[in-house]
Amino acid sequence: MAYSLDVIYGQQVIGQLTQRIDTGLLELSYSQQWQETGFAISPALMFEKQHGKAAAYNFLDNLLPEGEARKLLAQDLGVNEKQVFPQIKAIGSDLCGSFSFLSEQVSPSDEPIFRVIKEEELIHRLNNKEDIGLLQWDEKPRLSVAGVQDKLNVFVNEHDEIGLADGTLSSTYILKFERKDCVNLVINEYFCMRLSELVGLPTSEVTLKRFGKHPALLVKRFDRKYDVTSNRVLRKHVIDGCQALNLPRDYKYERNLGDGRDVKHIRDGASLEKSFSFCRQSSEPIANMQWLINWQLFNLLISNYDSHGKNISFFFGAGESVFTPAYDLVNVAMFDQFKHTLAMGMGDEFEPDTINAYQLADFADSCQLDRKIVSSMLNELATKVLKVLAENNIAPELEAAGIISDEEADYLNQVSKHIRKRARHLLGQTDEITLIEL
Protein backbone atom coordinates (compact mmCIF):
# COMPACT_ATOMS: atom_id res chain seq x y z
CA MET A 1 0.00 0.00 0.00
CA ALA A 2 2.98 2.34 0.25
CA TYR A 3 6.52 3.05 -0.95
CA SER A 4 9.03 3.33 1.86
CA LEU A 5 12.45 4.75 2.76
CA ASP A 6 14.43 4.29 5.95
CA VAL A 7 15.14 7.47 7.91
CA ILE A 8 18.78 7.25 9.01
CA TYR A 9 20.61 9.08 11.79
CA GLY A 10 24.30 8.19 11.69
CA GLN A 11 24.20 4.40 11.18
CA GLN A 12 20.86 3.98 12.95
CA VAL A 13 17.43 3.51 11.35
CA ILE A 14 15.20 5.81 13.40
CA GLY A 15 12.01 5.79 11.38
CA GLN A 16 10.23 5.36 8.06
CA LEU A 17 9.19 7.75 5.32
CA THR A 18 6.29 6.36 3.34
CA GLN A 19 4.22 7.50 0.38
CA ARG A 20 0.80 5.95 0.15
CA ILE A 21 0.11 4.47 -3.28
CA ASP A 22 -3.61 5.29 -3.24
CA THR A 23 -3.39 8.95 -2.16
CA GLY A 24 0.23 9.93 -2.77
CA LEU A 25 0.40 11.38 0.76
CA LEU A 26 3.72 11.33 2.59
CA GLU A 27 3.99 10.17 6.18
CA LEU A 28 6.94 10.09 8.56
CA SER A 29 6.97 7.77 11.57
CA TYR A 30 9.57 7.28 14.30
CA SER A 31 10.71 4.03 15.89
CA GLN A 32 9.82 3.52 19.53
CA GLN A 33 13.49 3.51 20.51
CA TRP A 34 14.11 6.85 18.75
CA GLN A 35 11.11 8.38 20.47
CA GLU A 36 12.67 7.40 23.79
CA THR A 37 16.24 8.53 23.03
CA GLY A 38 16.22 10.95 20.08
CA PHE A 39 14.63 14.16 18.87
CA ALA A 40 12.03 15.22 16.29
CA ILE A 41 13.07 16.12 12.77
CA SER A 42 11.09 19.41 12.77
CA PRO A 43 8.51 21.33 14.87
CA ALA A 44 5.71 20.05 12.62
CA LEU A 45 6.84 16.41 12.93
CA MET A 46 7.07 16.03 16.69
CA PHE A 47 6.77 12.70 18.50
CA GLU A 48 3.63 13.38 20.48
CA LYS A 49 1.55 15.19 17.84
CA GLN A 50 -0.69 13.96 15.04
CA HIS A 51 1.04 15.29 11.94
CA GLY A 52 -0.93 17.34 9.44
CA LYS A 53 -1.30 15.89 5.95
CA ALA A 54 1.17 18.40 4.49
CA ALA A 55 3.83 18.30 7.24
CA ALA A 56 6.11 15.62 5.77
CA TYR A 57 5.75 17.04 2.26
CA ASN A 58 6.60 20.57 3.43
CA PHE A 59 9.68 19.38 5.29
CA LEU A 60 11.04 17.32 2.38
CA ASP A 61 10.08 19.85 -0.28
CA ASN A 62 12.36 22.37 1.42
CA LEU A 63 15.33 19.95 1.37
CA LEU A 64 15.41 19.77 -2.43
CA PRO A 65 17.08 22.20 -4.86
CA GLU A 66 15.02 24.96 -6.43
CA GLY A 67 14.62 26.58 -9.84
CA GLU A 68 16.31 25.05 -12.85
CA ALA A 69 18.21 22.50 -10.73
CA ARG A 70 14.92 21.13 -9.38
CA LYS A 71 13.51 20.85 -12.91
CA LEU A 72 16.66 19.08 -14.12
CA LEU A 73 16.59 16.65 -11.19
CA ALA A 74 12.95 15.78 -11.84
CA GLN A 75 13.58 15.49 -15.57
CA ASP A 76 16.59 13.23 -14.99
CA LEU A 77 14.44 10.94 -12.84
CA GLY A 78 11.50 11.05 -15.23
CA VAL A 79 9.07 12.43 -12.63
CA ASN A 80 7.03 15.57 -12.05
CA GLU A 81 8.81 18.35 -10.17
CA LYS A 82 6.21 18.18 -7.39
CA GLN A 83 6.87 14.46 -6.77
CA VAL A 84 9.07 14.78 -3.72
CA PHE A 85 9.46 11.10 -2.77
CA PRO A 86 11.46 9.91 -5.82
CA GLN A 87 13.71 12.98 -5.66
CA ILE A 88 14.44 12.40 -1.98
CA LYS A 89 15.13 8.74 -2.80
CA ALA A 90 17.70 9.80 -5.43
CA ILE A 91 19.70 12.29 -3.32
CA GLY A 92 18.67 11.36 0.21
CA SER A 93 22.14 10.41 1.42
CA ASP A 94 23.52 13.99 1.51
CA LEU A 95 20.67 16.35 2.35
CA CYS A 96 20.92 19.34 4.68
CA GLY A 97 20.92 18.45 8.33
CA SER A 98 21.69 15.16 10.04
CA PHE A 99 19.10 12.78 8.59
CA SER A 100 19.40 10.62 5.47
CA PHE A 101 16.67 8.82 3.54
CA LEU A 102 17.70 5.50 1.99
CA SER A 103 15.96 2.55 0.38
CA GLU A 104 15.32 -0.27 2.82
CA GLN A 105 17.60 -2.48 0.75
CA VAL A 106 20.50 -0.01 1.09
CA SER A 107 22.54 -0.07 4.30
CA PRO A 108 24.57 3.01 5.28
CA SER A 109 28.16 2.44 4.21
CA ASP A 110 30.81 2.27 6.94
CA GLU A 111 33.62 3.03 4.47
CA PRO A 112 34.85 6.52 3.52
CA ILE A 113 34.58 7.18 -0.22
CA PHE A 114 36.24 10.23 -1.79
CA ARG A 115 36.58 11.04 -5.47
CA VAL A 116 38.82 14.01 -6.27
CA ILE A 117 37.56 16.52 -8.83
CA LYS A 118 40.60 17.68 -10.77
CA GLU A 119 40.67 21.41 -11.56
CA GLU A 120 40.75 20.72 -15.30
CA GLU A 121 37.61 18.59 -15.02
CA LEU A 122 35.72 21.28 -13.13
CA ILE A 123 36.85 23.99 -15.55
CA HIS A 124 35.66 21.84 -18.47
CA ARG A 125 32.28 21.36 -16.82
CA LEU A 126 31.97 25.09 -16.14
CA ASN A 127 33.04 26.01 -19.67
CA ASN A 128 30.30 23.73 -21.00
CA LYS A 129 27.79 24.23 -18.21
CA GLU A 130 24.91 24.96 -20.59
CA ASP A 131 25.41 21.61 -22.33
CA ILE A 132 26.77 19.32 -19.59
CA GLY A 133 25.39 20.94 -16.45
CA LEU A 134 26.52 20.42 -12.87
CA LEU A 135 23.79 18.10 -11.63
CA GLN A 136 25.13 14.69 -12.73
CA TRP A 137 28.56 13.39 -11.66
CA ASP A 138 29.57 9.80 -12.29
CA GLU A 139 26.00 9.10 -13.41
CA LYS A 140 24.62 10.22 -10.05
CA PRO A 141 22.76 13.45 -9.13
CA ARG A 142 24.84 15.46 -6.68
CA LEU A 143 23.03 18.71 -5.93
CA SER A 144 21.04 18.39 -2.73
CA VAL A 145 20.89 21.87 -1.21
CA ALA A 146 18.13 24.39 -1.69
CA GLY A 147 18.49 27.59 -3.71
CA VAL A 148 18.37 28.70 -7.32
CA GLN A 149 22.08 29.48 -7.81
CA ASP A 150 24.37 26.96 -9.58
CA LYS A 151 25.93 24.90 -6.78
CA LEU A 152 27.86 21.73 -6.10
CA ASN A 153 28.16 19.83 -2.82
CA VAL A 154 31.81 18.97 -2.21
CA PHE A 155 34.12 17.50 0.40
CA VAL A 156 37.46 19.20 1.06
CA ASN A 157 40.13 16.96 2.56
CA GLU A 158 43.15 17.84 4.71
CA HIS A 159 45.19 18.46 1.55
CA ASP A 160 42.64 21.05 0.32
CA GLU A 161 41.58 18.71 -2.48
CA ILE A 162 37.99 19.20 -3.60
CA GLY A 163 35.87 16.19 -4.47
CA LEU A 164 32.73 14.12 -4.12
CA ALA A 165 32.08 12.10 -0.99
CA ASP A 166 30.05 9.02 -0.02
CA GLY A 167 29.93 6.45 2.72
CA THR A 168 31.09 7.80 6.07
CA LEU A 169 31.97 11.03 4.30
CA SER A 170 29.60 13.65 2.92
CA SER A 171 29.88 17.19 1.63
CA THR A 172 31.47 19.69 4.00
CA TYR A 173 31.42 22.69 1.65
CA ILE A 174 29.21 24.15 -1.07
CA LEU A 175 30.69 25.60 -4.25
CA LYS A 176 28.53 28.36 -5.70
CA PHE A 177 28.97 29.59 -9.27
CA GLU A 178 27.73 32.46 -11.38
CA ARG A 179 24.77 32.28 -13.66
CA LYS A 180 25.28 33.54 -17.20
CA ASP A 181 22.89 36.45 -16.61
CA CYS A 182 24.36 37.44 -13.23
CA VAL A 183 27.92 38.62 -13.81
CA ASN A 184 29.68 39.57 -10.55
CA LEU A 185 27.16 37.72 -8.37
CA VAL A 186 29.91 35.64 -6.72
CA ILE A 187 32.15 38.56 -5.77
CA ASN A 188 29.10 40.54 -4.68
CA GLU A 189 28.12 37.75 -2.28
CA TYR A 190 31.69 37.35 -1.05
CA PHE A 191 31.87 41.09 -0.29
CA CYS A 192 28.57 41.09 1.63
CA MET A 193 29.43 37.95 3.57
CA ARG A 194 32.83 39.31 4.58
CA LEU A 195 31.23 42.62 5.56
CA SER A 196 28.80 40.74 7.79
CA GLU A 197 31.68 38.88 9.42
CA LEU A 198 33.72 42.04 9.91
CA VAL A 199 30.90 43.87 11.70
CA GLY A 200 30.67 40.96 14.12
CA LEU A 201 27.59 39.07 12.94
CA PRO A 202 27.66 35.23 13.01
CA THR A 203 28.34 34.43 9.34
CA SER A 204 29.18 31.35 7.31
CA GLU A 205 32.86 31.10 6.39
CA VAL A 206 33.51 31.88 2.72
CA THR A 207 36.51 31.79 0.38
CA LEU A 208 36.68 33.31 -3.10
CA LYS A 209 38.24 30.96 -5.66
CA ARG A 210 38.86 30.84 -9.42
CA PHE A 211 38.52 27.90 -11.76
CA GLY A 212 39.87 29.20 -15.04
CA LYS A 213 37.76 32.23 -15.92
CA HIS A 214 35.03 31.21 -13.47
CA PRO A 215 34.78 32.81 -10.01
CA ALA A 216 33.36 30.55 -7.31
CA LEU A 217 32.38 30.97 -3.70
CA LEU A 218 33.46 28.13 -1.40
CA VAL A 219 31.08 28.12 1.58
CA LYS A 220 31.86 26.06 4.65
CA ARG A 221 28.82 24.09 5.79
CA PHE A 222 27.79 24.82 9.37
CA ASP A 223 25.86 21.54 9.59
CA ARG A 224 28.93 19.37 8.93
CA LYS A 225 32.24 18.72 10.67
CA TYR A 226 34.98 16.42 9.43
CA ASP A 227 36.52 14.23 12.13
CA VAL A 228 40.02 13.32 10.92
CA THR A 229 40.55 10.62 13.54
CA SER A 230 37.58 8.51 12.48
CA ASN A 231 37.63 9.69 8.85
CA ARG A 232 33.95 10.48 9.18
CA VAL A 233 31.81 13.55 8.64
CA LEU A 234 29.68 14.38 11.67
CA ARG A 235 26.32 16.02 10.97
CA LYS A 236 24.36 18.58 12.95
CA HIS A 237 20.65 18.91 12.31
CA VAL A 238 19.28 22.14 10.86
CA ILE A 239 15.92 23.34 9.60
CA ASP A 240 15.29 26.43 7.50
CA GLY A 241 12.70 29.13 8.18
CA CYS A 242 10.04 27.49 6.03
CA GLN A 243 10.50 24.15 7.78
CA ALA A 244 10.31 25.91 11.15
CA LEU A 245 6.96 27.42 10.14
CA ASN A 246 5.70 24.27 8.37
CA LEU A 247 5.48 26.01 5.01
CA PRO A 248 6.29 24.59 1.54
CA ARG A 249 9.14 26.20 -0.43
CA ASP A 250 6.63 28.12 -2.59
CA TYR A 251 5.74 30.14 0.54
CA LYS A 252 9.26 31.43 1.20
CA TYR A 253 8.09 34.92 0.20
CA GLU A 254 5.55 36.65 2.43
CA ARG A 255 3.46 37.58 -0.61
CA ASN A 256 3.16 33.94 -1.58
CA LEU A 257 1.01 34.67 -4.65
CA GLY A 258 3.27 37.47 -5.90
CA ASP A 259 3.33 41.25 -6.03
CA GLY A 260 0.53 41.71 -8.56
CA ARG A 261 -2.13 44.32 -7.90
CA ASP A 262 -4.90 41.79 -7.25
CA VAL A 263 -2.91 39.45 -4.97
CA LYS A 264 -0.30 41.56 -3.17
CA HIS A 265 -2.58 41.88 -0.14
CA ILE A 266 -2.33 38.09 0.39
CA ARG A 267 0.50 37.50 2.85
CA ASP A 268 0.33 33.84 3.86
CA GLY A 269 4.03 33.09 3.29
CA ALA A 270 7.02 33.34 5.61
CA SER A 271 7.14 36.70 7.35
CA LEU A 272 9.17 38.50 9.97
CA GLU A 273 6.18 38.52 12.29
CA LYS A 274 5.83 34.72 12.07
CA SER A 275 9.59 34.25 12.44
CA PHE A 276 9.71 36.34 15.61
CA SER A 277 6.77 34.34 16.99
CA PHE A 278 8.79 31.16 16.39
CA CYS A 279 11.77 32.74 18.17
CA ARG A 280 9.64 33.42 21.25
CA GLN A 281 8.89 29.70 21.51
CA SER A 282 12.50 28.64 20.87
CA SER A 283 15.11 27.41 23.33
CA GLU A 284 16.85 30.83 23.45
CA PRO A 285 14.18 33.46 22.68
CA ILE A 286 16.17 36.60 23.56
CA ALA A 287 19.33 35.59 21.66
CA ASN A 288 17.28 34.43 18.67
CA MET A 289 15.26 37.65 18.51
CA GLN A 290 18.44 39.73 18.71
CA TRP A 291 19.95 37.64 15.89
CA LEU A 292 16.86 38.11 13.73
CA ILE A 293 16.74 41.88 14.31
CA ASN A 294 20.41 42.20 13.32
CA TRP A 295 19.87 39.94 10.29
CA GLN A 296 16.96 41.98 8.97
CA LEU A 297 18.65 45.33 9.63
CA PHE A 298 21.86 44.17 7.95
CA ASN A 299 19.88 43.02 4.91
CA LEU A 300 18.35 46.50 4.71
CA LEU A 301 21.80 48.07 4.98
CA ILE A 302 23.25 45.99 2.12
CA SER A 303 20.03 46.06 0.03
CA ASN A 304 19.51 42.32 0.18
CA TYR A 305 15.87 42.42 -0.83
CA ASP A 306 15.77 38.64 -1.35
CA SER A 307 16.01 37.80 2.36
CA HIS A 308 13.21 35.25 2.38
CA GLY A 309 12.11 32.42 4.67
CA LYS A 310 14.62 29.91 3.34
CA ASN A 311 17.53 32.25 3.95
CA ILE A 312 17.42 31.70 7.69
CA SER A 313 18.05 28.40 9.46
CA PHE A 314 18.08 26.97 12.97
CA PHE A 315 20.16 24.31 14.65
CA PHE A 316 17.36 22.03 15.79
CA GLY A 317 17.58 19.12 18.18
CA ALA A 318 16.70 17.90 21.64
CA GLY A 319 15.63 21.07 23.41
CA GLU A 320 17.57 23.23 20.93
CA SER A 321 16.42 25.74 18.34
CA VAL A 322 19.00 28.48 17.77
CA PHE A 323 19.95 30.39 14.63
CA THR A 324 22.77 29.15 12.44
CA PRO A 325 25.31 31.61 11.01
CA ALA A 326 23.98 33.86 8.22
CA TYR A 327 24.32 32.89 4.55
CA ASP A 328 23.23 34.00 1.05
CA LEU A 329 23.90 37.70 1.72
CA VAL A 330 23.86 39.64 -1.58
CA ASN A 331 23.40 43.28 -2.60
CA VAL A 332 20.43 42.60 -4.86
CA ALA A 333 20.12 46.28 -5.83
CA MET A 334 23.14 45.85 -8.12
CA PHE A 335 21.16 43.47 -10.38
CA ASP A 336 18.32 44.83 -12.50
CA GLN A 337 17.15 41.30 -13.31
CA PHE A 338 16.17 40.62 -9.67
CA LYS A 339 12.97 41.83 -8.06
CA HIS A 340 13.48 45.04 -6.11
CA THR A 341 10.78 44.39 -3.54
CA LEU A 342 11.30 43.01 -0.04
CA ALA A 343 10.82 39.27 0.40
CA MET A 344 9.32 39.91 3.83
CA GLY A 345 7.64 43.22 4.61
CA MET A 346 8.75 45.81 7.12
CA GLY A 347 5.36 46.23 8.74
CA ASP A 348 3.18 46.87 5.68
CA GLU A 349 5.99 48.14 3.45
CA PHE A 350 7.62 46.08 0.68
CA GLU A 351 9.33 48.87 -1.27
CA PRO A 352 12.95 49.12 -0.04
CA ASP A 353 13.48 52.73 -1.15
CA THR A 354 10.70 53.92 1.15
CA ILE A 355 12.05 52.38 4.37
CA ASN A 356 12.22 55.30 6.79
CA ALA A 357 11.61 55.81 10.50
CA TYR A 358 7.86 55.18 10.08
CA GLN A 359 8.39 51.77 8.46
CA LEU A 360 11.05 50.82 11.01
CA ALA A 361 8.64 51.71 13.83
CA ASP A 362 5.89 49.72 12.10
CA PHE A 363 8.29 46.76 11.83
CA ALA A 364 9.04 46.95 15.55
CA ASP A 365 5.39 47.22 16.56
CA SER A 366 4.08 44.50 14.23
CA CYS A 367 6.77 42.09 15.48
CA GLN A 368 6.17 43.13 19.13
CA LEU A 369 9.67 44.51 19.55
CA ASP A 370 10.84 47.39 21.75
CA ARG A 371 11.37 50.37 19.45
CA LYS A 372 14.24 51.63 21.59
CA ILE A 373 16.07 48.34 21.13
CA VAL A 374 15.50 48.35 17.36
CA SER A 375 16.70 51.97 17.14
CA SER A 376 19.80 51.25 19.24
CA MET A 377 20.68 48.10 17.29
CA LEU A 378 20.30 49.89 13.94
CA ASN A 379 22.46 52.77 15.16
CA GLU A 380 25.20 50.39 16.30
CA LEU A 381 25.08 48.19 13.20
CA ALA A 382 25.00 51.03 10.66
CA THR A 383 27.91 52.73 12.46
CA LYS A 384 29.95 49.51 12.31
CA VAL A 385 29.16 49.03 8.61
CA LEU A 386 30.32 52.55 7.78
CA LYS A 387 33.50 52.07 9.84
CA VAL A 388 34.41 48.79 8.11
CA LEU A 389 33.72 50.24 4.66
CA ALA A 390 35.81 53.32 5.45
CA GLU A 391 38.74 51.02 6.18
CA ASN A 392 38.19 49.51 2.70
CA ASN A 393 40.04 46.24 3.25
CA ILE A 394 37.93 43.64 1.44
CA ALA A 395 38.60 44.49 -2.21
CA PRO A 396 42.29 45.44 -1.72
CA GLU A 397 42.93 42.07 -0.03
CA LEU A 398 41.51 40.29 -3.07
CA GLU A 399 43.49 42.52 -5.46
CA ALA A 400 46.72 41.88 -3.56
CA ALA A 401 46.10 38.13 -3.80
CA GLY A 402 45.48 38.42 -7.53
CA ILE A 403 41.98 36.93 -7.21
CA ILE A 404 40.02 39.80 -8.78
CA SER A 405 40.64 42.04 -11.80
CA ASP A 406 40.73 45.84 -11.85
CA GLU A 407 37.21 45.84 -13.31
CA GLU A 408 35.96 43.64 -10.50
CA ALA A 409 37.66 45.86 -7.93
CA ASP A 410 35.84 48.85 -9.45
CA TYR A 411 32.58 46.91 -9.23
CA LEU A 412 33.13 46.18 -5.53
CA ASN A 413 33.81 49.87 -4.95
CA GLN A 414 30.38 50.55 -6.47
CA VAL A 415 28.84 47.97 -4.13
CA SER A 416 30.58 49.65 -1.20
CA LYS A 417 29.39 53.08 -2.32
CA HIS A 418 25.80 51.86 -2.54
CA ILE A 419 25.92 50.29 0.94
CA ARG A 420 27.48 53.42 2.46
CA LYS A 421 24.62 55.49 1.04
CA ARG A 422 22.02 53.10 2.47
CA ALA A 423 23.76 52.97 5.85
CA ARG A 424 23.90 56.78 6.13
CA HIS A 425 20.22 57.03 5.22
CA LEU A 426 19.09 54.42 7.75
CA LEU A 427 21.40 55.82 10.42
CA GLY A 428 19.63 59.15 9.97
CA GLN A 429 16.28 57.51 10.78
CA THR A 430 17.21 56.03 14.17
CA ASP A 431 16.29 59.01 16.37
CA GLU A 432 12.77 59.20 14.95
CA ILE A 433 11.83 55.52 15.38
CA THR A 434 10.70 55.93 19.01
CA LEU A 435 8.81 59.17 18.31
CA ILE A 436 6.65 58.12 15.35
CA GLU A 437 2.91 57.75 15.93
CA LEU A 438 1.35 55.00 13.84
Is 268 designated active site? no
Which stretch of 32-41, 133-142, 346-355, 383-392 has the lowest confidence by average pLDDT?
133-142
147 pLDDT band (50/70/90 cuts)? low
Q: Look at the pTM and tell me if it is higher than 0.85.
A: yes
Q: What is the pLDDT of residues 182-193, one digit of tens each?
A: 899 999 999 999
Q: What is the pLDDT of residues 234-267, one digit of tens each?
A: 999 999 999 999 999 999 999 999 999 999 999 9
pLDDT reading at 2 higher than 70: yes
Residue predicted with more confidence, 65 or 368? 368
Q: What is the pLDDT of residues 286-312, one digit of tens each?
A: 999 999 999 999 999 999 999 999 999
From the list 6, 61, 306, 328, the catalytic residue is 306
270/296 Cα distance (integer angstroms): 14
Residue predicted with more confidence, 1 or 418? 418
25 pLDDT band (50/70/90 cuts)? very high
109 pLDDT band (50/70/90 cuts)? confident
Which stretch of 111-115, 136-140, 267-271, 398-402 has the lowest confidence by average pLDDT?
136-140
Enter the CATH code of domain 236-433.
Answer: 1.10.1070
pLDDT of amino acid 143:
67
CB-count exposure of residue 283 (10 Å: 0-12, 13-18, 19+): middle
399/404 Cα distance (integer angstroms): 6
Q: In the chain, which segments carry CATH 1.10.1070?
A: 236-433
